Structure 1
């Protein structure tokens, strides 16, 4: 099994980082951040090198002149191609977001806050991509990489849920990866020679660099692991518990990255409220099923077991839980797997996250 690259935590913006091993079919990149309230635009690029003027395979560019929209494009040999525009933007001013980019054979699949946003067909071979950059009026909490997992999503069938698995050793911390030479951090964001502005959009004045990523509502530091200057925060330990600042609300997203133990029996993710558990998400490997349920006043409701089993023993995973108006949308490894209708309202009463079982964690964004 190939191990995933260490995440980038709280990178200064503008940011340039190496994608270790490049891109492969099935690889995914999760970017969790917050749009600055007075945003004009920002972008995320997947590109073929770190020098100015290099080809950009995927340019994702939310813009806010008039009604917010999102432009995607490709830069080849110094020239931008034909823009693709999405008139409805899921990147809202002042709001947190999780952007998941999944590499497929023919296109990049883009998911935002647990929902499919668009597919962008390859114009430049994804095998050439080795660098990710982020710039503009945005703050980034983490950038997490997941290598391809075993394909196939077998179906289901299960056992009474229980909480309280023994604590597991934390995933050992890895060294951080510094910004690439050739894209040094600087206080502004001037246009680079040979790196033309998008057609019809003149270069903007410099965007001041953000001083890190201060704790925002919904981006608490890992409990017991304050970030140290110059060092990535220690990985969260299992069992894991975190408050959900202000409670859940529509559009809020929780992203969990980790590795399933080789001999795993089960693990669970619980979204809790004062009277019990609003969502108990419980993959069970002996039964090849993911159970979903709600607990009210010490009584479990009816289990839901339909859908696939996207988790595999000994494999890494990315789990995104997005709180929608009527349900939780649950995306595992880039695939929307489950939809669980709310049984607990109002949503702001859901105030904590618990994770336990036969996994180690690499990052949790609440």
Structure 2
């Protein structure tokens, strides 16, 4: 794979150090999703020049929770010395709740945001071509690490189709004015599972479309998403139904109408939202 196409997506990483082959590139973004442990007083996320403990750190992001206040410190470690700190107040990262840190790599700076809120433009002190490692400390329960294009695709191929115990995992944030979010599990002739949240109606609709014809709707009140707040959706494919959970809480079920699960080959996410990742995971 050419460096210009280099992509990385790791769901439930088992290590706190992740290598980026070919190094950072302008226009790409680094995504870290997880939970800070409830008893932690700080966290670090580093973009490093190697995996050694003494490696230079081009970008050090350091949320701190001290004396009842939360803030974020930024710095660079080069040639054995820390540079001058920069900081922002009022961290949007809350302990023991899912968060997403996004780092967009530009020519001049790292554009850093958390849970969709812009935090800092941190100007480069070390050339991005020297950066090849993402490192986090042990104060986080990691959910996802990604190195991707600046605009993520809203479609994901499901390799070898669905099967019982295969999971679809989606991370995102509905826009503050979001009117709807739709998740579609598609096959060649239609939509096996259509999961539609309509915010203005405060309703969730489930349905199936085959050969251009929609079946009877299943509709319930109450949306498991909050506009402007980070979410994780997991759709678990079971033998008889789909189980939908949001942020770890069971939300809905939907019995299979289209039963040729192996023919379901695309996950599609639509609506007014910021999308971080769409993953299809084998059991």
TM range (shorter): 0.5 to 0.7
Corresponding residue for 1:17?
18
Deviation at 1:115, TM superposition (A): 1.7
Contact kept, 8 Å, 1:25 with 1:148, in 2: the verdict is no
Task: Output the CA distance in 2 between the equivalents of 1:75 and 1:353.
Answer: 49
Q: CA deviation at 1:108?
A: 0.4
**Displacement, 1:131?**
0.5
- Post-superposition offset of 1:328: 3.7
Q: What are the superposed Cα offsets for residues 240-270 of structure 1, whole Å, 9 maximum, x if unpaired?
A: 8x8xxxxx9x9xxxxxxxxxxxxxxxxx984
Distance 2:116 2:20 in 1: 23
* Distance in 1 (alpha carbons) for counterparts of 2:279 and 2:156: 15
Tell me the residue number matched to 1:69: 71
Matches within 5 A, 1:144-183: 144-147=146-149, 169-171=157-159
Between Structure 1 and Structure 2, how many residues are aligned?
203
Change (3 A) 1:169 1:87: closer
Q: How many Å apart are 1:168 and its aligned residue?
A: 8.1
Give the whole-Å Cα distance in 1 for the aligned partners of 2:124 and 2:136.
20
The aligned residue for residue 105 of structure 1 is 107
What is the CA–CA distance in structure 1 between the aligned matches of 2:23 and 2:107, rounded to whole Å? 14
State the TM-score, normalized to the length of structure 2: 0.58
Cα displacement (A) at 1:6: 3.6
Residue pair 2:110, 2:124 contacting (<8 A) in 1 also = yes
CA distance, structure 2, for counterparts of residue 353 and residue 12 of structure 1: 30
1:80 aligns with 2:68: no
Partner of residue 41, structure 1: 42
Deviation at 1:9, TM superposition (A): 2.5
1:272–1:352: 8 Å Cα contact kept in structure 2?
Answer: no
- Going from structure 1 to structure 2, the CA distance change for 1:3 and 1:81 (only over 3 Å counts) comes to same
Question: Cα offset for 1:11?
Answer: 2.5
Q: Which residue of 1 aligns with 2:56?
A: 55
**Matched position secondary structure for 1:136:** coil
Cα distance, 1:328–1:49 mapped onto 2, change above 3 Å = same
CA-to-aligned-CA distance 1:280-314 (integer Å, 9 cap, x gap) = xxxxxxxxxxxxxxxxx79xxxxxxxxxxxxxxxx
Given the superposition, is the C-alpha separation of residues 147 and 169 from structure 1 closer, same or farther in structure 2, using an over 3 Å criterion? closer
- Determine whether 1:271 maps to 2:197: yes
- Partner-residue secondary structure (3-state), 1:127: helix
The alignment's C-alpha RMSD in Å is: 4.4
Which secondary structure state, in structure 2, belongs to the residue aligned with residue 42 of structure 1?
Answer: coil
Give a deviation string over 1:336-360, Cα, whole Å, max 9, x none.
xxxxxxxxxxxxxx9469995499x
Q: Deviations over 1:87-143 (max 9, x none)?
A: 211111211101111001111011111121211111111111001101031111010
Could you tell me which residue of structure 2 aligns to residue 225 of structure 1?
Answer: 166
Pick the aligned partner of 2:137 from 117, 126, 135: 135
**Contact residue 271 and residue 352 of structure 1 kept, 8 A:** no
CA distance in 2, matches of 1:59, 1:353: 42
Q: Secondary structure at the match of 1:141?
A: strand
TM-score after normalising by structure 1: 0.46
2:66 is paired with a residue of what secondary structure? coil
Structure 1's 8 and 82: CA in aligned 2 closer, same or farther, altered over 3 A? Answer: same
In 2, the alpha carbon distance for the partners of 1:328 and 1:364 equals 25
Paired residues of 1:46 and 1:57 also in contact (CA < 8 A)? yes
